[in-house]
Chains A and B, each alone.
Chain A
Amino acid sequence: MAIPPEHLMILSLVLVAIGITGVLIRRNVIIILMSIELILNAANINFVTFSRQWNNLVGQIFGVFNITVAAAEVAVGLAIVIALFRNRETVNVDEMNLMKW
Chain B
Amino acid sequence: MNLGLLVFYFFAALAVVGGLMMVTRKNAVHSAVYLVLTFIAIAAIYVLLGAEFLFAVQVLVYAGGIMVLFLFVIMLVNLEEPRRYSGGKLHLGLSTGLTLILFGMLAAVFVKDAPPAAPVAASGGEGNLQLVGALLYRNYLIPFEVVSLLLLVAMIGAIVLGRPRA
Could you tell me which A residues sit within 8 Å of B by CB distance?
A: 1-11, 13-22, 24-28, 30-31, 33-35, 37-38, 41, 44-45, 48-55, 57-58, 60-61, 63-65, 67-76, 78-83, 85-86, 91-94
Tell me the minimal C-beta distance from B29 to chain A in angstroms.
10
- With contacts A76-B158, A81-B73 taken as known, whether A13 is within 8 angstroms of B103 at the C-beta atoms is yes
B residues within 8 A CB of A71?
61, 65-66, 151, 154
B 99-148 contacts with A by CB, 8 A: 99-100, 102-103, 106-107, 110-111, 114-121, 128, 131-132, 135-136, 140, 143, 147
Tell me the minimal C-beta distance from A94 to chain B in angstroms.
5
A1 pairs with B5, CB closer than 8 A: yes
B residues within 8 A CB of A63?
51, 54
B86 pairs with A17, CB closer than 8 A: no
B residues within 8 A CB of A67?
54, 57-58, 61-62
B99 pairs with A24, CB closer than 8 A: yes
Q: In whole angstroms, what is the CA distance A78 to B67 when docked?
A: 11
- With contacts A53-B116, A54-B118, A86-B164 taken as known, whether A28 is within 8 angstroms of B81 at the C-beta atoms is yes
B residues within 8 A CB of A25?
23, 85-87, 91-92, 95-96
B147 pairs with A69, CB closer than 8 A: yes
A7 pairs with B164, CB closer than 8 A: no
Could you tell me which B residues sit within 8 Å of A by CB distance?
A: 2-5, 8, 12, 15-16, 19-20, 22-23, 28, 31-32, 35, 38-39, 42, 45-46, 48-51, 53-54, 57-58, 61-62, 65-66, 69-70, 73-74, 76-77, 79, 81, 83-87, 91-92, 95-96, 98-100, 102-103, 106-107, 110-111, 114-121, 128, 131-132, 135-136, 140, 143, 147, 150-151, 153-155, 157-162, 164-165
- With contacts A21-B95, A37-B35 taken as known, whether A69 is within 8 angstroms of B150 at the C-beta atoms is yes
Name 29 interchain pairs, CB-CB below 8 A, sorted by A: A1-B3, A1-B48, A3-B48, A5-B117, A9-B111, A15-B15, A15-B19, A17-B103, A18-B23, A21-B99, A24-B95, A25-B87, A25-B92, A26-B23, A28-B81, A31-B22, A34-B32, A37-B62, A52-B120, A60-B54, A60-B132, A61-B140, A64-B57, A68-B150, A71-B61, A72-B153, A73-B154, A86-B164, A92-B81
- With contacts A6-B114, A21-B95, A27-B85 taken as known, whether A78 is within 8 angstroms of B158 at the C-beta atoms is yes
**Which of A13, A51, A78 contacts B73, CB < 8 Å?**
A78
A residues within 8 A CB of B157?
75-76, 79
